[in-house]
Structure 1
Amino acid sequence: MPNDRTATPAGAAPHAAAGGPLKGVKVLDITRVVAGPYCAMLLADLGATVIKVEHPDDPDYARSFPPFVASDDAELSAFFTQFNRNKLGISLNMKTEDGRALLKKLVREVDVLVENFRPGTMEKLGLGYEVLKLENPKLVYTAISGFGRTGPNSSRPAYDNTGQAVGGLWSMNGYADRPPVRVGTIIGDLAASLYAAIGTLAALRQVERGGEGQVVDVSQQDSVLSLTENAVVRYTTKGEIASPLGSEHPFVRPYGQFPCKDGYVFFGGYTDKFWKLTCQMFGEPEVANDPEIDTMEKRFDADVAERRVRPILERWFSNYTKAELEEMAGDVIPMSAIKNIKEVVEDPHIAARNMIVNVPVGAQMVRMFGQPVKLSGAPEGDFAKAPDVGEHNLEVYARLAGLSREEIERLQASGVI
């Protein structure tokens, strides 16, 4: 899979995950913001050597996103670090002739290039896949965009909200009596990054088997569409158009949000087994035999669920806190507290899973989300900081591009790097 050369350029501080399963894989990350940086960071967390490439005068503008951490005389973005940890950093102006030549030299020595420009941008620079594969036929070229590299909308600009809007998810989120609501996170960017990481690994596997490199083409719209659960088949089989349902499921009931003494819980005890256990747990086993609600099919009926089932559950739950209900449900009934982010960050189970980790931001250690992929053969280590702009220019350009110190200094003075 990887080229034979050392994964970490000589002199560069190896990142914390350098011994992971992707050790030896080298990645050029020329992306910015989240859709792309997150994909490359996942590869870095798993051991790949990821080199973040930024324009020397126009670096990734996510560096200006809050929250900030004070470091000496600077304010550093914890947001930026969260998506760029464990990477090396170089600067490069690909709009210059020397810059384009230098990128080609780097491409010869890496396994993957990740970009998230609008389709056609790299071609305009003379650095499209058809050009770069001449430098390295085994190159995996991962491209993330709003609408993908093909189709009538491929050249349109896009953000995360674009993906949510045109992928159908926005139209489904919110409450029935109100306008649709965007999902409360950048799910379009994140989903595209996840699919891009999967596609990259699949393409690398093909190279490992002796195949050629290829383009991994990931669209935010496609990615969001694939997250719409049953909406597509409901439309194609029944002509039903999914609409906002609040916290309810389209047909499974009871399965949603219910109030309790100090907030809300998710309760999903809709099967006959779980419904019977729930009735027993709250000391009213006879409710399970009520002829109007004694089967799952009867409880699925929207009118029955609202008129009969919900009042029973709300009466039971109103006497207990979220924590008490979780404790009562234990390993028996699917019920979980609906937690705010503070409660999640401080959750002992999250701690046991090592999902809140310390990452350096300047001189401080900042807690941020960890790596959700847990591999039994790759124990997790510490996480390294995000690179400064061009921090590893000397090491990377000397090792991978074969430049002398004098050449590197000349390119820096002329604004190429």
Structure 2
Amino acid sequence: MSTPSRFDRGHTDDLMSFLAASPSPYHAVANAAARLEKAGFQQVRETDAWDASTGGKYVLRGGAIIAWYVPEGAAAHTPFRIVGAHTDSPNLRVKPLPDTGAYGWRQIAVEVYGGTLLNTWLDRDLGLAGRLTLRDGSHVLVNVDRALLRVPQLAIHLDRSANDGLKLDRQKHLQPIWGLGDVAEGDLIRFLEQEAGLAEGEVTGWDLMVHSIEPPSYLGRDKELLAGPRMDNLISVHAGAAALAASASSELSYIPVLAAFDHEENGSQADTGADGPLLGTVLERSVFARGGTYEDKARAFAGTVCLSSDTGHAIHPNYAERHDPTHHPRANGGPILKVNVNQRYATDGSGRAVFAAACERAGVPWQHFVSNNAMPCGTTIGPITAARHGIQTVDIGVAILSMHSARELCGADDPYLLANALLSFLQG
């Protein structure tokens, strides 16, 4: 018999707040950490010695967070149950020399990050957010969440063929406007110092990106849909944090983990990415802090399972031919199990059984996703996690439309259905 679902539409309401408050990976991990701290989790620093204490802990590094809960009586060889996700989304990011412009327009020099749908950034009111690095090496988060920037599209009168196939040059056509007048070197950073209440010249480094300031909202006659930014993949980060906080219990036979990485959208090859050593190092240190040996670590990893949770494609009513003809994931149909025999996703039959059991216990419906054979298939942190750590990994997620747009769309029930499935999985 299935257990009652713990999360309901209130989870989706909280997701909307999380999306709005997380315009950058740095904000996303800070907000996830705040939710975990309310559940009793405590930050541990990588530079400190770790002890064998039980309870909830987390590590922050840049735009990544690894959090875990050690129940009472956990042995050194106790396996982990991991929810994997990523915090970054495709967007436009500020260059090292940001101040530019021409013909009396002041602009910001940006670089395209990840595989974003370029046209979705046109004629949209944009804010600016990210992380400022100070002279002493500390960091300050900044979020200018108002209409600050705009990438203006060329008028139809000057490009009569625009509706027949818009072509955007990534270098020339995407530099946003933010004012009038002469270009002044250092102007943007001085402005952000004022916004953050810092002294002029205190900022020596920055990681900044633009974001749409339009808030998330329910959509449709019956509000059964949810529109918002950065759903890929903050839906999974939010659901994973909620599931980990709710799973914290001394009755667990596994150690539940949330691993939310940065830089998935450009290959995961970073110290905060899934292809870096962060997850393996944290798990090893947890084993060793509890008195474990290399043998204990090998035993723990051999029994570990990871659900790599990322968004997938819901069937598009206007482009059904782009999807597999027999696999049609639908909005509000529950989380999807993602399969690709060429290992673009890590799911196999054994992983399918793990996910199916978790959904059955939670009373959550679920669906299959596989790509059309004639279309290239995307990938996730799943195959990277499986190959790098030798951990059984299963790829899942929420089906959405407009993936990699500045504003995406999903079923309003799917976020809490995902959270319930993750909670069931973490509880084992």
* Fold match by TM threshold 0.5: no
* TM-score normalised by the chain length of structure 1: 0.20
Bigger relative contact order, structure 1 or 2 (CA pairs below 8 A, ≥6 apart): 2
By percentage of residues, which structure has more helix? 1
By percentage of residues, which structure has more strand? 2
